[in-house]
Amino acid sequence: MPTALIILAAGQGTRMNSDLPKVLHPLGGVPLLAHALASGRAARPERTLIVTGHGAEAVASEIHTLEPGAEIVHQAQQLGTGHAVAQAAEALAGFAGDILILYGDTPFIRAETIARMQNARQSGHDMVVLGFNAREPGRYGRLVMTGDQLERIVEAKDATPEERAISLCNSGVMIADAKVIMPLLERLEPYNSSGEYYLTDTVALARGEGRSVGVVTCDEAETLGINTRRELARAEALFQERRRRDALDNGVTLTAPETVFFTLDTMIGRDALIEPHVVFGPGVTVESGAHVRAFSHLEGCHVSRGAVVGPYARLRPGTEIAENARIGNFVEVKNAGIGDGAKVNHLSYIGDAQVGEAANIGAGTVTCNYDGVMKHRTVIGARAFIGSDTMLVAPVRVGSEAMTASGSVITDDVPDGALAIARTRQQVKPGFARRLMQKLRTARARLDRQTGSTE
């Protein structure tokens, strides 16, 4: 069954107390909205529509990077969840299939839950609502059931005391046959305590037409929506806790799990070893058997099996660490490939570079990649030996099996197998130091006599 995913993201998020639209606040290293998109992907949607309103421009520009194929629908005024979905009606005219509705501020809906809703749809329900048993039903919509049929959803504000006593609540997630739900949106009326067009009213309308409406339930934690910074902070903690547990279950060793931080797309292979206080930013893959040592920060990089990174390493976007390579303490690597078995063990910056296999980069080496306007590349050949404190002024190329003398400033290419020395030659003056000190002491004594100083 083809599916169109609609994500509601027009709300203001007033309680975030922020200039940033709510769905752009980061959770697990990516905007909240990216989590809803990830949940929605489980349904393999043929179309993805995102309803924007508050901060629409900022949200739209983020969508272009997150999901370039997504269609943006604008809701100029936030007149309710039903009104929000209705904004997608024009774009979806003639669409035959299922409509899956998610909220942009609800990040934890699992793929498996969406699959269960799709199964319930296939088993004959025209609409399926995701419900949960709330510990404190509070302001959630209540699900009014007759047997296994959902008769209607009543918002807490509009509910009678008996209805408010129902603990089965509406998560907001819904899947429905497009030809059933789309016409019902036109029939919604805002005669309720909020004066809004409630999406939830489509349930009673569908029942009135003799349609079948089912409920699938999930854990309350999955339905957690973000409305405040406190909730965002709590969601971050939950997200991290889950990712740590998943990593451990997948065979990753985390020495101190509570100190390791993940991003939504972090991928870590089995038998990788992650030491304490490691942060994974967006776009990191760590292969099976790699070792990331304490206090390292990684983003946009790939670490191959057998490689060791850290302690105190920083890998920035575009970094590719090949098998068995070593990146040591206080080493920063950006947009660079470090070849098989190559070593950059101490205090170095390697940016816009390619380091050949088994090359050895001495302590304090810097690729001087930036001339103030443009970035330039450094290429270092296989088995090259870069002496400590070499400045590689890019663009520059050091051949394979070549060497640079420590302290060199390398501005010209070094051919294969050559040694480049680019520093002033040392001069040694016998006895000079002792004579110099004697002269200085004599001068000082004369001065002290003149001023009477006893210091």
> Which segment (60-68, 78-86, 421-429, 446-454) binds ligand UD1 by CB under 6 A?
78-86
Where are any strands of DSSP class E within 279-348?
Answer: 279-280, 285-286, 291-292, 297-298, 301-303, 308-309, 313-315, 319-321, 326-329, 331-338, 343-346
Please select the residue that binds ligand UD1; options are 75, 118, 263, 365, rule is CB under 6 A: 75
Token code pair at residue 260: 């390791």
Helix (H) or strand (E) holding 438, with range, is helix 432-451
- 62 contributes a contact to ligand UD1 by CB under 6 A: no
Does 80 sit near ligand UD1 (CB under 6 A)?
yes
Of 131 and 337, the one with the shorter C-beta distance to ligand UD1 is 131
Which of 95, 108, 132, 198 is the binder for ligand UD1 (CB under 6 A)? 198
Burial grade of 156 (CB within 10 A; 0-12, 13-18, 19 or more): middle
Q: How far apart are CA 5 and CA 190, in angstroms?
A: 25
Query: Considering the complex, what minimum distance in angstroms separates the CB of residue 24 from ligand UD1?
Result: 12
x/- contact string, 8-37, with ligand UD1 (CB under 6 A)?
xxxx--------------------------
CB closer to Ca ion, 113 vs 170:
170
**Smallest distance, Ca ion to C-beta of residue 225, A:** 5
**DSSP character at residue 63:** H
**Which region among 122-130, 195-203, 246-254, 408-416 touches ligand UD1 (by CB under 6 A)?**
195-203
The reply to whether 216 sits near ligand UD1 by the rule CB under 6 A is: no
Pick between residue 14 and residue 61 the one whose CB is nearest to Ca ion. Answer: 14
CB of 231 or CB of 340, closer to ligand UD1: 231
Which helix (H) or strand (E) segment holds residue 254: the answer is: strand 253-254
Query: What angle in degrees, to the nearest 10, is found between the helix axes of 111-122 and 32-41?
Result: 40
Question: Does 78 interact with ligand UD1 (rule: CB under 6 A)?
Answer: yes
Per annotation, catalytic residue among 291, 297, 302, 346: 346
Closest listed residue to residue 177, CA positions, set 217, 132, 120:
120
Number of Cβ within 10 Å of residue 209's Cβ equals 10
Cβ closest to ligand UD1, residue 90 vs residue 412: 90
Chosen from Ca ion, ligand UD1, none, partner binding at 263 (C-beta under 5 to 8 Å by type): none
Which one, of 305, 258, 261, lies nearest residue 286 by Cα?
305
Active site residues: 346
